[in-house]
Amino acid sequence: MPIAELTLILILAMITSLLAIISLRPLAGKVGLLDIPHGRKQHSGAVPLIGGLAIYITLLLVLSSQLSTDPMLGYYLACSAVIVILGVFDDALDLSVKLRLVVQLAVGLAMIYSLELHISNLGNLFGLGDVGLGVLGIPVTLIAVIAAINAFNMTDGIDGLAGLLSMVSFSSVAVFMLLWGQASQALLPLVFIAALLPYLAFNLGWVKQKKIFMGDAGSMLIGLSVIWLLLISTQSETASFRPVTALWLIAIPLMDMVAIMLRRILKGQSPFLADREHLHHISLRLGLNSRESLILITALAWVFACIGIIGEYLLVPEPAMLALFFLVFALYIGLMQNIWRIISAIRHSLANRR
Protein backbone atom coordinates (compact mmCIF):
# COMPACT_ATOMS: atom_id res chain seq x y z
CA MET A 1 0.00 0.00 0.00
CA PRO A 2 1.49 3.39 -1.00
CA ILE A 3 2.37 5.74 1.87
CA ALA A 4 0.11 8.47 0.43
CA GLU A 5 -2.91 6.13 0.40
CA LEU A 6 -2.19 4.90 3.92
CA THR A 7 -1.88 8.48 5.17
CA LEU A 8 -5.24 9.43 3.64
CA ILE A 9 -6.90 6.39 5.24
CA LEU A 10 -5.51 7.31 8.67
CA ILE A 11 -6.63 10.95 8.33
CA LEU A 12 -10.09 9.69 7.31
CA ALA A 13 -10.14 7.43 10.38
CA MET A 14 -9.36 10.33 12.72
CA ILE A 15 -12.05 12.53 11.15
CA THR A 16 -14.60 9.69 11.24
CA SER A 17 -13.84 8.98 14.90
CA LEU A 18 -14.23 12.66 15.79
CA LEU A 19 -17.57 12.91 13.96
CA ALA A 20 -18.78 9.67 15.58
CA ILE A 21 -17.99 11.01 19.06
CA ILE A 22 -19.72 14.33 18.35
CA SER A 23 -22.80 12.50 17.00
CA LEU A 24 -23.05 9.87 19.76
CA ARG A 25 -22.36 12.08 22.77
CA PRO A 26 -25.82 13.76 22.89
CA LEU A 27 -27.50 10.35 22.56
CA ALA A 28 -25.72 8.70 25.50
CA GLY A 29 -28.20 9.85 28.15
CA LYS A 30 -31.20 8.80 26.05
CA VAL A 31 -30.03 5.18 25.76
CA GLY A 32 -28.61 4.80 29.29
CA LEU A 33 -24.93 4.92 28.37
CA LEU A 34 -23.80 7.17 31.19
CA ASP A 35 -21.22 6.40 33.87
CA ILE A 36 -22.63 7.83 37.09
CA PRO A 37 -20.16 8.11 39.98
CA HIS A 38 -20.76 5.73 42.89
CA GLY A 39 -18.73 3.35 45.05
CA ARG A 40 -15.34 2.77 43.34
CA LYS A 41 -16.18 5.29 40.60
CA GLN A 42 -15.07 8.66 41.86
CA HIS A 43 -15.18 10.88 38.77
CA SER A 44 -17.24 14.06 38.63
CA GLY A 45 -20.67 14.02 36.98
CA ALA A 46 -22.33 11.58 34.57
CA VAL A 47 -19.93 10.78 31.72
CA PRO A 48 -21.07 9.33 28.34
CA LEU A 49 -19.82 5.78 27.67
CA ILE A 50 -19.59 6.13 23.89
CA GLY A 51 -15.84 5.95 23.18
CA GLY A 52 -15.90 2.25 22.30
CA LEU A 53 -18.89 2.67 20.01
CA ALA A 54 -17.23 5.60 18.22
CA ILE A 55 -14.05 3.60 17.71
CA TYR A 56 -15.95 0.59 16.34
CA ILE A 57 -18.01 2.74 13.97
CA THR A 58 -14.75 4.20 12.69
CA LEU A 59 -13.23 0.76 12.17
CA LEU A 60 -16.38 -0.44 10.40
CA LEU A 61 -16.61 2.50 8.00
CA VAL A 62 -12.91 2.76 7.21
CA LEU A 63 -11.95 -0.92 7.05
CA SER A 64 -15.02 -1.97 5.05
CA SER A 65 -13.47 -0.27 2.03
CA GLN A 66 -10.50 -2.65 2.32
CA LEU A 67 -12.41 -5.94 2.40
CA SER A 68 -11.63 -6.68 -1.26
CA THR A 69 -7.88 -6.66 -0.52
CA ASP A 70 -8.11 -8.33 2.90
CA PRO A 71 -11.30 -10.43 3.35
CA MET A 72 -10.13 -11.41 6.86
CA LEU A 73 -11.07 -7.90 8.00
CA GLY A 74 -14.73 -8.88 7.50
CA TYR A 75 -14.39 -11.66 10.07
CA TYR A 76 -12.64 -9.25 12.42
CA LEU A 77 -15.43 -6.68 12.10
CA ALA A 78 -18.08 -9.35 12.71
CA CYS A 79 -16.37 -10.71 15.85
CA SER A 80 -15.74 -7.17 17.05
CA ALA A 81 -19.41 -6.28 16.58
CA VAL A 82 -20.43 -9.05 18.98
CA ILE A 83 -17.93 -7.87 21.60
CA VAL A 84 -18.99 -4.23 21.23
CA ILE A 85 -22.69 -5.16 21.57
CA LEU A 86 -21.82 -7.21 24.67
CA GLY A 87 -19.92 -4.23 26.06
CA VAL A 88 -22.75 -1.80 25.37
CA PHE A 89 -25.24 -3.99 27.20
CA ASP A 90 -22.75 -4.45 30.04
CA ASP A 91 -22.29 -0.68 30.27
CA ALA A 92 -26.05 -0.14 30.38
CA LEU A 93 -27.19 -3.15 32.43
CA ASP A 94 -24.09 -4.43 34.29
CA LEU A 95 -24.23 -8.02 33.01
CA SER A 96 -23.08 -11.01 35.06
CA VAL A 97 -19.51 -12.28 34.77
CA LYS A 98 -20.76 -15.69 33.59
CA LEU A 99 -22.73 -14.20 30.70
CA ARG A 100 -19.78 -12.07 29.62
CA LEU A 101 -17.46 -15.07 29.69
CA VAL A 102 -19.88 -17.22 27.66
CA VAL A 103 -20.11 -14.60 24.93
CA GLN A 104 -16.35 -14.05 24.95
CA LEU A 105 -15.85 -17.81 24.64
CA ALA A 106 -18.22 -17.91 21.67
CA VAL A 107 -16.34 -15.07 19.99
CA GLY A 108 -13.07 -16.88 20.65
CA LEU A 109 -14.39 -19.98 18.89
CA ALA A 110 -15.60 -17.84 15.99
CA MET A 111 -12.15 -16.27 15.76
CA ILE A 112 -10.43 -19.63 15.67
CA TYR A 113 -12.61 -20.98 12.90
CA SER A 114 -12.88 -17.77 10.89
CA LEU A 115 -9.11 -17.25 11.00
CA GLU A 116 -8.47 -20.99 10.71
CA LEU A 117 -5.74 -20.09 13.14
CA HIS A 118 -4.93 -20.86 16.74
CA ILE A 119 -1.91 -21.03 19.03
CA SER A 120 -0.31 -24.16 17.66
CA ASN A 121 3.35 -23.24 18.11
CA LEU A 122 4.95 -21.51 21.11
CA GLY A 123 8.33 -21.22 19.38
CA ASN A 124 11.69 -22.49 20.57
CA LEU A 125 11.09 -21.53 24.20
CA PHE A 126 13.47 -24.04 25.79
CA GLY A 127 16.21 -24.27 23.17
CA LEU A 128 15.15 -27.79 22.16
CA GLY A 129 13.10 -26.94 19.08
CA ASP A 130 9.65 -25.50 18.54
CA VAL A 131 7.03 -26.34 21.17
CA GLY A 132 3.90 -27.57 19.42
CA LEU A 133 0.59 -27.68 21.29
CA GLY A 134 -1.31 -30.13 19.13
CA VAL A 135 -4.89 -30.58 20.34
CA LEU A 136 -4.21 -28.25 23.27
CA GLY A 137 -3.89 -25.34 20.86
CA ILE A 138 -7.60 -24.57 20.74
CA PRO A 139 -8.26 -24.41 24.52
CA VAL A 140 -5.03 -22.42 25.00
CA THR A 141 -6.20 -19.98 22.33
CA LEU A 142 -9.59 -19.59 24.00
CA ILE A 143 -7.88 -18.86 27.32
CA ALA A 144 -5.66 -16.30 25.57
CA VAL A 145 -8.66 -14.59 23.94
CA ILE A 146 -10.59 -14.32 27.22
CA ALA A 147 -7.45 -13.23 29.08
CA ALA A 148 -6.63 -10.46 26.58
CA ILE A 149 -10.19 -9.12 26.54
CA ASN A 150 -10.36 -8.94 30.32
CA ALA A 151 -6.77 -7.77 30.82
CA PHE A 152 -7.40 -4.57 28.89
CA ASN A 153 -10.83 -4.22 30.47
CA MET A 154 -9.14 -4.23 33.88
CA THR A 155 -6.73 -1.45 32.88
CA ASP A 156 -9.59 0.97 32.19
CA GLY A 157 -9.44 2.56 35.63
CA ILE A 158 -7.96 6.01 35.07
CA ASP A 159 -8.37 8.43 32.19
CA GLY A 160 -6.45 7.43 29.08
CA LEU A 161 -4.80 4.30 30.47
CA ALA A 162 -6.52 1.58 28.43
CA GLY A 163 -6.18 3.71 25.29
CA LEU A 164 -2.49 4.48 25.75
CA LEU A 165 -1.57 0.93 26.77
CA SER A 166 -3.33 -0.38 23.69
CA MET A 167 -1.44 2.14 21.55
CA VAL A 168 1.80 0.63 22.87
CA SER A 169 0.68 -2.80 21.68
CA PHE A 170 -0.79 -1.60 18.37
CA SER A 171 2.28 0.52 17.58
CA SER A 172 4.65 -2.34 18.36
CA VAL A 173 2.75 -4.77 16.15
CA ALA A 174 2.59 -2.19 13.34
CA VAL A 175 6.36 -1.60 13.58
CA PHE A 176 7.07 -5.28 12.98
CA MET A 177 4.58 -5.53 10.12
CA LEU A 178 5.97 -2.45 8.39
CA LEU A 179 9.55 -3.63 8.90
CA TRP A 180 8.79 -6.90 7.12
CA GLY A 181 6.84 -5.24 4.30
CA GLN A 182 3.36 -6.25 5.52
CA ALA A 183 1.72 -2.84 5.04
CA SER A 184 -1.72 -4.29 4.33
CA GLN A 185 -1.71 -6.20 7.64
CA ALA A 186 -0.46 -3.09 9.45
CA LEU A 187 -3.59 -1.23 8.37
CA LEU A 188 -5.72 -2.55 11.27
CA PRO A 189 -3.42 -1.47 14.15
CA LEU A 190 -2.71 1.88 12.47
CA VAL A 191 -6.41 2.64 11.87
CA PHE A 192 -7.15 1.66 15.47
CA ILE A 193 -4.52 4.13 16.69
CA ALA A 194 -6.00 6.85 14.45
CA ALA A 195 -9.48 6.13 15.84
CA LEU A 196 -8.15 6.30 19.41
CA LEU A 197 -6.64 9.78 19.08
CA PRO A 198 -9.93 11.78 19.08
CA TYR A 199 -11.21 9.59 21.92
CA LEU A 200 -8.12 10.39 24.00
CA ALA A 201 -8.58 14.10 23.30
CA PHE A 202 -12.05 13.96 24.85
CA ASN A 203 -11.19 11.46 27.59
CA LEU A 204 -8.12 13.34 28.83
CA GLY A 205 -9.94 16.65 28.95
CA TRP A 206 -8.24 18.31 25.98
CA VAL A 207 -11.74 19.11 24.73
CA LYS A 208 -13.14 21.13 27.64
CA GLN A 209 -16.40 20.04 29.32
CA LYS A 210 -16.87 17.19 26.82
CA LYS A 211 -15.40 14.22 28.68
CA ILE A 212 -16.24 10.70 27.52
CA PHE A 213 -15.28 7.15 28.60
CA MET A 214 -14.74 4.19 26.28
CA GLY A 215 -16.80 1.87 28.51
CA ASP A 216 -16.58 -1.91 28.52
CA ALA A 217 -17.46 -1.83 24.82
CA GLY A 218 -14.20 -0.04 24.12
CA SER A 219 -11.87 -1.85 26.51
CA MET A 220 -13.12 -5.29 25.43
CA LEU A 221 -12.84 -4.26 21.76
CA ILE A 222 -9.22 -3.31 22.42
CA GLY A 223 -8.48 -6.66 24.07
CA LEU A 224 -10.06 -8.60 21.21
CA SER A 225 -8.18 -6.55 18.61
CA VAL A 226 -4.84 -7.02 20.35
CA ILE A 227 -5.17 -10.80 20.61
CA TRP A 228 -6.42 -10.95 16.99
CA LEU A 229 -3.27 -9.15 15.84
CA LEU A 230 -1.00 -11.25 18.05
CA LEU A 231 -2.45 -14.45 16.60
CA ILE A 232 -1.89 -13.24 13.06
CA SER A 233 1.58 -11.95 13.92
CA THR A 234 2.85 -15.11 15.60
CA GLN A 235 0.88 -18.05 14.21
CA SER A 236 0.16 -17.32 10.55
CA GLU A 237 2.27 -18.21 7.52
CA THR A 238 3.33 -14.56 7.34
CA ALA A 239 4.28 -14.30 11.03
CA SER A 240 5.90 -10.99 11.98
CA PHE A 241 7.56 -12.00 15.24
CA ARG A 242 8.09 -14.93 17.60
CA PRO A 243 5.45 -15.92 20.19
CA VAL A 244 7.66 -14.98 23.16
CA THR A 245 7.84 -11.40 21.88
CA ALA A 246 4.06 -11.10 22.19
CA LEU A 247 4.39 -11.34 25.98
CA TRP A 248 6.48 -8.16 26.05
CA LEU A 249 4.02 -6.24 23.87
CA ILE A 250 1.18 -6.69 26.37
CA ALA A 251 3.32 -6.97 29.50
CA ILE A 252 1.59 -4.44 31.77
CA PRO A 253 -2.04 -5.54 31.16
CA LEU A 254 -1.01 -9.19 31.37
CA MET A 255 1.08 -8.91 34.53
CA ASP A 256 -1.44 -6.68 36.29
CA MET A 257 -4.30 -9.08 35.54
CA VAL A 258 -2.43 -12.23 36.63
CA ALA A 259 -0.99 -10.59 39.75
CA ILE A 260 -4.32 -9.28 40.99
CA MET A 261 -6.11 -12.56 40.24
CA LEU A 262 -3.49 -14.43 42.23
CA ARG A 263 -3.95 -12.04 45.15
CA ARG A 264 -7.71 -12.53 45.07
CA ILE A 265 -7.44 -16.32 44.89
CA LEU A 266 -4.95 -16.39 47.79
CA LYS A 267 -7.45 -14.34 49.81
CA GLY A 268 -10.20 -16.86 48.99
CA GLN A 269 -12.01 -14.35 46.77
CA SER A 270 -13.36 -14.62 43.24
CA PRO A 271 -10.66 -13.73 40.67
CA PHE A 272 -13.26 -11.52 38.97
CA LEU A 273 -14.09 -9.54 42.10
CA ALA A 274 -13.95 -5.79 41.49
CA ASP A 275 -11.62 -3.89 43.79
CA ARG A 276 -9.08 -1.06 43.91
CA GLU A 277 -5.86 -3.09 43.93
CA HIS A 278 -4.76 -2.67 40.30
CA LEU A 279 -1.46 -1.01 39.45
CA HIS A 280 -3.15 2.30 38.63
CA HIS A 281 -5.05 2.27 41.94
CA ILE A 282 -1.86 1.56 43.88
CA SER A 283 0.01 4.37 42.13
CA LEU A 284 -2.77 6.78 43.10
CA ARG A 285 -2.68 5.63 46.72
CA LEU A 286 1.09 6.17 46.74
CA GLY A 287 0.46 9.86 46.16
CA LEU A 288 0.68 10.23 42.38
CA ASN A 289 -2.16 12.01 40.64
CA SER A 290 -4.00 10.40 37.73
CA ARG A 291 -1.90 12.13 35.05
CA GLU A 292 1.38 11.16 36.75
CA SER A 293 0.15 7.57 37.13
CA LEU A 294 -0.82 7.51 33.46
CA ILE A 295 2.61 8.71 32.35
CA LEU A 296 4.47 6.31 34.67
CA ILE A 297 2.51 3.18 33.69
CA THR A 298 2.56 3.99 29.97
CA ALA A 299 6.31 4.64 30.11
CA LEU A 300 6.79 1.29 31.85
CA ALA A 301 4.73 -0.41 29.14
CA TRP A 302 6.94 1.19 26.48
CA VAL A 303 10.08 -0.02 28.28
CA PHE A 304 8.78 -3.60 28.19
CA ALA A 305 7.62 -3.32 24.58
CA CYS A 306 11.01 -1.95 23.54
CA ILE A 307 12.72 -4.90 25.24
CA GLY A 308 10.53 -7.18 23.12
CA ILE A 309 11.15 -5.22 19.92
CA ILE A 310 14.94 -5.07 20.42
CA GLY A 311 15.09 -8.73 21.43
CA GLU A 312 13.15 -9.72 18.32
CA TYR A 313 15.19 -7.50 16.00
CA LEU A 314 18.48 -8.84 17.37
CA LEU A 315 17.09 -12.39 17.46
CA VAL A 316 17.99 -12.84 21.11
CA PRO A 317 17.41 -16.57 21.85
CA GLU A 318 13.83 -17.28 22.87
CA PRO A 319 14.76 -19.09 26.12
CA ALA A 320 16.63 -15.95 27.23
CA MET A 321 13.68 -13.68 26.37
CA LEU A 322 11.28 -16.01 28.23
CA ALA A 323 13.55 -16.26 31.29
CA LEU A 324 13.89 -12.47 31.41
CA PHE A 325 10.13 -12.04 31.12
CA PHE A 326 9.47 -14.45 33.98
CA LEU A 327 12.13 -12.72 36.08
CA VAL A 328 10.47 -9.33 35.51
CA PHE A 329 7.06 -10.92 36.16
CA ALA A 330 8.23 -12.43 39.45
CA LEU A 331 9.70 -9.10 40.54
CA TYR A 332 6.45 -7.36 39.62
CA ILE A 333 4.31 -9.81 41.60
CA GLY A 334 6.66 -9.61 44.58
CA LEU A 335 6.62 -5.83 44.48
CA MET A 336 2.82 -5.67 44.29
CA GLN A 337 2.43 -8.21 47.07
CA ASN A 338 4.70 -6.25 49.40
CA ILE A 339 4.28 -2.69 48.15
CA TRP A 340 2.92 -1.30 51.41
CA ARG A 341 5.64 -2.93 53.52
CA ILE A 342 8.27 -1.51 51.18
CA ILE A 343 6.74 1.99 51.25
CA SER A 344 6.38 1.83 55.04
CA ALA A 345 10.03 0.80 55.42
CA ILE A 346 11.19 3.62 53.13
CA ARG A 347 9.12 6.17 55.03
CA HIS A 348 10.39 4.87 58.37
CA SER A 349 13.99 5.06 57.13
CA LEU A 350 13.55 8.62 55.90
CA ALA A 351 11.89 9.64 59.17
CA ASN A 352 14.82 8.22 61.17
CA ARG A 353 17.32 10.16 59.07
CA ARG A 354 15.54 13.38 59.90
Whole-angstrom distance, CA of residue 51 vs CA of residue 56: 9
CA torsion through residues 232, 233, 235, 237, sign:
positive
Residue pLDDT, tens place only, 183-217? 888 999 999 999 999 999 999 988 877 899 999 99
Chain-centroid distance, C-alpha 261: 17
Q: What is the pTM of this model?
A: 0.92
Which bin fits 39, alpha (ψ -120 to 50), beta or left (φ > 0)? Answer: left
pLDDT at residue number 354: 62
The stretch 282-302 carries a mean pLDDT of 90
Cβ neighbors of 194 (< 8 A, separation 6 or more) are 10, 11, 13, 14, 17, 58
Q: How confident is the model at residue 344 (pLDDT cuts 50, 70, 90)?
A: confident
Q: What pLDDT is recorded for position 181?
A: 82
Residue 179 identity (one-letter amino acid)? L
**Amino acid in position 191:** V
**How much is the pLDDT for 41?**
53
Q: What is the pLDDT of residue 102?
A: 96
Query: Residue 212: its pLDDT value, please?
Result: 95
- Rounded Cα–Cα distance for residues 244 and 122 (Å): 7
Q: What is the distance between the terminal CA atoms of the chain, rounded to a whole angstrom?
A: 63
